[in-house]
């Protein structure tokens, strides 16, 4: 593994005050907020970034607005070719960008590289999509009329992404928005700006090679104030925001008040139902990865586990045995399973949740400790926890962005489904069972109320081909695959009269004499 200084250099990160990108050129921010970027891996400073002010934000918006008419006029398959080229650049720099993501955010190196692979996959998907954005033709009730629909780009799309997937979520939005004919303004998490800067440096290579205008893909690093500007900005037709439910409610309200569009991907409180009819070995692997992957900092993390009472004791013993074998440490060491939480504030939330669980009557079966000493100097490492709880506990009803797995018993599938659905969030869900009656009920309208429902796979690890998103307080948005591209376009119904009369719909007569 190369050292991070070399990785930064290879990704073109030299002047860290250049945190605002107009697509081709960088603007040196003149703001007063200087954010030190400290790695949760070892507590060392990676660099510092000067956050943008309204002045730099306005400069980016002007570039984006001016680029839109040029970009939308380019045929969609040719826009797709630009995305294809970016995907190839990502293939070249996959190891370097994956390592930076891992070091800046704290996820394992395998997951960091996997996140860049998600970017590559969405590029491939968007390239194919650029030749398939279809409209329907409908029969007209009027003689010699043809009725059909078209899809047109919205204009400027704003993307607000979270720290846990510092590069992939942007690409989900930006690559599909691009083939649809939109330009994007990206505000990444203030906790992971360097990964975003690296993405824009790589995009700059493609834009310059193709003589494309500034503003097709742009970046504004900043604090929550920049996000607020985007939500309020009438020039941004769609704001796609990923983060907490509280953040999403604020963005949704602000965008809604100006009758703009929002695409919200918010919190998850995901559950696995473990049936007595399950393959226990398969389930064990899925539960562990779902609960501790990315140190519990995925929106699809497995947070609740409902186990049939007949197998509860035996399965929990196996689960604790595996947890004891987990290797916790530097995520750049591929022998480690679990890396750090993003910062010490997240560690405090982890500890507070454990204490709240105990106050409500729950029990820690394993883990729950904050780790210190050699290898844990950043003070961001924790021991993943298995906690016996009830679904009705206040702390269980909340999403704690940390590796805490709440386990509970159930007697029958109806009870398990009721428990799974009895939370405010509705992102991902899963059942492990080889009983077809149970699995079909789980997938029926009377089953899981989540946007994602899996059978014999875990809650985490969605593929880009399917629409990603959830219901209830998860926001209702959909990104990535299926027909999610429609969120980035406006629908237009067209009717053509190719006859020589003027009949009205519904048989209405309007005789002028």
265 noted as active-site residue? yes
Task: Please give the model's pTM, rounded to 2 decimal places.
Answer: 0.96
479 noted as active-site residue? no
Name beta bridge partners: 385.
Answer: 404
How many helical (H) and strand (E) elements, i.e. helices and strands, does the chain have? 15, 23
pLDDT by residue for the chain (513 residues), tens only, comes to: 568 889 999 998 876 667 899 999 998 877 767 889 999 999 999 988 989 999 999 999 999 999 999 999 999 999 999 999 999 999 999 999 999 999 999 999 999 999 999 999 999 999 999 999 999 999 999 999 999 999 999 999 999 999 999 999 999 999 999 999 999 999 999 999 999 999 999 999 999 999 999 999 999 999 999 999 999 999 999 999 999 999 999 999 999 999 999 999 999 999 999 999 999 999 999 999 999 999 999 999 999 999 999 999 999 999 999 999 999 999 999 999 999 999 999 999 999 999 999 999 999 999 999 999 999 999 999 999 999 999 999 999 999 999 999 999 999 999 999 999 999 999 999 999 999 999 999 999 999 999 999 999 999 988 999 999 999 999 999 999 999 999 999 999 999 999 999 999 998 998 886
Query: Token pair of 219, please?
Result: 């970046």
Catalytic residue among 21, 123, 180, 299: 299
Q: Which domains does the chain have, with CATH numbers?
A: 4-266+475-492 (3.40.605.10), 270-463 (3.40.309.10)
| Cα separation, 115 vs 338, whole angstroms | 16
DSSP 417-438: HHHHH-SSEESEEEEE-S-HHH
| Cα separation, 14 vs 6, whole angstroms | 11
Helix, strand, coil % in the chain, rounded to nearest 5: 40, 20, 40
Name beta bridge partners: 138.
Answer: 147
Name beta bridge partners: 265.
Answer: 242
Catalytic residue among 56, 190, 214, 265: 265
């Amino acid at each position: 593994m190369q050292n991070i200084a070399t990785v930064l250099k290879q990704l073109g990160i030299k002047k860290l005050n250049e945190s605002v990108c107009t697509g081709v050129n960088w603007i040196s921010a003149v703001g007063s907020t200087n954010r030190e970027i400290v790695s949760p891996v070892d507590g060392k400073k990676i660099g510092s970034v000067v956050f943008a002010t309204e002045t730099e934000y306005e400069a980016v918006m002007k570039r984006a607005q001016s680029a839109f008419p040029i970009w939308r006029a380019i045929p969609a398959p040719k826009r797709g070719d630009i995305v294809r080229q970016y995907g190839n650049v990502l293939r070249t720099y996959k190891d370097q960008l994956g390592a930076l993501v891992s070091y800046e955010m704290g996820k394992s190196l395998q997951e960091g590289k996997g996140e860049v692979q998600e970017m590559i996959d969405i590029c491939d998907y968007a390239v194919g999509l650029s030749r398939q954005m279809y409209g329907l033709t409908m029969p007209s009730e009027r003689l010699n009329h043809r009725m059909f629909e078209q899809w047109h780009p919205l204009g400027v799309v704003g993307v607000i992404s979270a720290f846990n997937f510092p590069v992939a979520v942007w690409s989900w939005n930006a690559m599909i928005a691009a083939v649809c004919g939109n330009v994007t303004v990206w505000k990444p998490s203030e906790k992971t700006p360097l990964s975003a800067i690296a993405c824009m440096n790589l995009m700059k290579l493609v834009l310059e090679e193709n003589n494309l205008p500034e503003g097709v893909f742009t970046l504004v690093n900043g604090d929550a104030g920049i996000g607020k500007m985007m939500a309020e900005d009438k020039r941004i037709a769609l704001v796609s925001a990923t983060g907490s439910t509280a953040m999403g409610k604020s963005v949704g309200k602000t965008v809604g008040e100006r009758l703009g569009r929002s695409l919200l991907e918010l919190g998850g409180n995901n559950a696995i139902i473990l049936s007595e009819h399950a393959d226990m070995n398969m389930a064990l692997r899925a539960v562990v990865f779902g609960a501790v992957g990315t140190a519990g900092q995925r929106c699809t993390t497995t947070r609740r586990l409902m186990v049939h009472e007949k197998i509860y004791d035996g399965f929990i013993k196996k689960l604790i045995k595996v947890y004891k074998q987990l290797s916790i440490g530097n995520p750049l060491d591929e022998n480690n399973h679990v890396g750090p939480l993003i910062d010490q504030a997240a560690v405090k939330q982890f500890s507070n949740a454990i204490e709240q669980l105990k106050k409500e009557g729950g029990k820690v079966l394993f883990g729950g400790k904050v780790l210190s000493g050699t290898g844990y100097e950043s003070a961001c490492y924790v021991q993943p926890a298995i906690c016996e709880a009830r679904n009705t506990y206040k702390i269980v009803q909340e999403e704690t962005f940390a590796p805490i797995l709440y386990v509970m018993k159930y007697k029958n599938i109806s009870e398990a489904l009721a428990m799974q659905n009895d939370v405010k969030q509705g992102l991902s869900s899963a059942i492990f069972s080889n009983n077809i009656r149970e699995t079909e009920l789980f997938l029926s309208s009377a089953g899981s109320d989540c946007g994602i429902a899996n059978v014999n796979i875990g809650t985490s690890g969605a593929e880009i081909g399917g629409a990603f998103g959830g219901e209830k307080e998860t926001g209702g948005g959909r990104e990535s695959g299926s027909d999610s591209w429609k969120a980035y376009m406006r629908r237009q119904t067209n009717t053509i009269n190719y006859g020589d009369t003027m009949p009205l719909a519904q048989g209405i007569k309007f005789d002028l004499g």
